[in-house]
Every structure is written in C-alpha cells, then in structure tokens.
Amino acid sequence: MKRLSEKIVIALLFVAILVFLYSVITELFFDSAPSIAVSKNKIGLIEVKGVIIDSEKTVERIQDFQDNSSIQGLIVRINSPGGGVAASQEIYEALQSYRRDTGKPVVASMASVAASGGYYVACGVDTIVANPGTTTGSIGVIMELMDYSVLLQKIGVEVNVVQSGRFKDSGRGSRKLTKDDKAYFQQFIDDAYSQFLDVVADARNMDKSQVKKLADGRVYTGQQALANGLVDKLGTYSDAVNLVARMAGIEDQPVLVRPYVHKRTFFDLLFGDLEDLAQEFTSLPVLRYQLVY
C-alpha cells in the first residue's frame, strides 16, 4: 500500500511538471506581444471579426499600438456583418483618436463582409480598401422585439406589471405594441440612424442627403460601393497592407504586429480562476432593447 501511494504521488508530480512546462512553452511560443524593438517597418494589425458585441478588447489593442512608438500605422481587417451600435461607435472613436493623436495612417481592409456596424468601424480610417466581391453597406439601424402575447393567452398565462411610467414596459413581449410604443421606438431608431448618416457623410465627404439615398439598408458589392463613393479602392488584404506601408513611408517589407493576447492554457484550466472562463462560454444575454447596426 505504501509503495502504491508513493507511485501515485510521483505520478501526480509528473503530471504537474508536464502541465507547468506546457504552460510555459505556450506562453513563450504561441503568445505574441508588440515588439519594443527600434525597427521602423512595423504595422499594427487590428481584427474586427464576427458580430460586434463588445468593443473593450479591440479598443485596448488600438490604444496599446498608440503607445508603441515602433508601430508606424494600422491595418484594420474587417470581416463583420455588424453588431451593437455603441460597440461599433467605440471602435470607430478609438481609430479616430489614434489617427488624431499619432498622425499615423490607418487603412481598412474589407474581407467577405464589412456591413452595417462593420462599415461604421471602417469610417474611422484614412482609406477603405474592399474586394470587388465584398459585401458592404447595409447602412441603417434595426431593433427586433418579440411578441408572444397571443401564445400566453392560449395557454392561460397572465402577466401583471407594476411600473413607474407608461413607456417603462414598452417592447415587453407579453403584450402587443401600441401606436404610442411604435412612435416612441421609431424616434429611438431614427436618432441612431441620423448618427450613422453623420459619420458616413463626414468620412466620405458627402452631403447627408447624398448618404441617405444610399442608406436604406441595402448591401453593395465592393465594386458597387466604389462607384457610390463608399470605399476608396478595390484590392486584396495584401494590397491594403502595402498601401498603409507606403503611406507610413516604409521602404522595406512591412512587418505585421499582432497585439498581445493571453491564451488560456491547460495550466489555467487546472489552477486558474474558472469563473472568468465559464463566462466566456455562456450564451450572450438577450437584451430587450438592443440597437443593432
């Protein structure tokens, strides 16, 4: 029995050592941080992928590059159908701040999709490069409210609400929208839409009336977007990288620098705080009022 216990202890120690080594190797070889070397041919890469829900990490990465003097400009790779209004606005503002405070070039490269909130983000750069077949545009705002009041009536469920004002429960799925509710939400949508138009008009040097003709929610190919003045050039990701390099005065081959992203390791799973990890894998909360670009 004693010999068996010793073997178990040795086995556990061996596993712990393997886990530790795995963690160290992962940190050394698979995480990359912006270099602090003096080289002047570096371009920061910002990726905006998927539905734009949270802007915090993207904004932090833009600010990290802003504080790194060896970074000569940014390439913003966008492959997103859009997302939350406020999140899109915050990324846009961070790119504007980077350009204003550093004077360095920022170029957007549109991938398969850069629509709605993805297009809003692109408006924060100096030059927008799209592929001919990129899906872009979709300038507009939408809010989706579910109505399950008829279903509740059929199954005999009644919802009682106590509220402080007549619009506090507007959009609640257990009752139908009233005429006043619809007017209230339409004003809400119209204000966010007007903000979007202002941003596009400023970025594209257009009158707001011109933008409005294009901003009825329709999508455009990259080629159509160029013809309508919504993008600056047609080209690939490589073309966009070379463009920002030329704008930054880089003569050698540009080096793309990814922001530091901590990767979770097996060591984190065994000994780290599992609460944060669990939050990453939970479904996104359903918000009753969610403005979406």
Q: According to DSSP H, which parts of the chain are helical?
A: 2-30, 56-66, 85-102, 117-122, 149-155, 179-204, 208-214, 222-227, 237-247, 266-271, 274-281
Q: Other C-beta atoms within 10 Å of 76: how many?
A: 27
**Spatial distance between the Cα atoms of 131 and 133, rounded to a whole number of angstroms:** 5
CA 76 from centre of chain:
11
Q: Tokens 């159908």, residue? A: 81
Taking alpha carbons only, the member of 111, 70, 74 closest to residue 91 is: 74
Contact yes or no for 135/115 (Cβ under 8 A): yes
Contact yes or no for 135/221 (Cβ under 8 A): yes
Exposed/middle/buried for residue 170 (C-beta within 10 Å: 0-12, 13-18, 19+): buried
Q: Which long-range contacts (CB under 8 A, 24 or more apart) does 267-275 make?
A: 267/19, 267/20, 267/22, 267/23, 268/23, 270/19
Question: DSSP secondary-structure letter at 287?
Answer: P
Catalytic residues: 116, 168
Q: What sign does the dihedral 65-98-103-49 (CA atoms) show?
A: positive
Non-local CB neighbours of 251 within 8 Å, separated by 6+ positions:
41
Taking alpha carbons only, the member of 158, 46, 191, 19 closest to residue 104 is: 46
Q: Tokens 């503002």, residue? A: 93
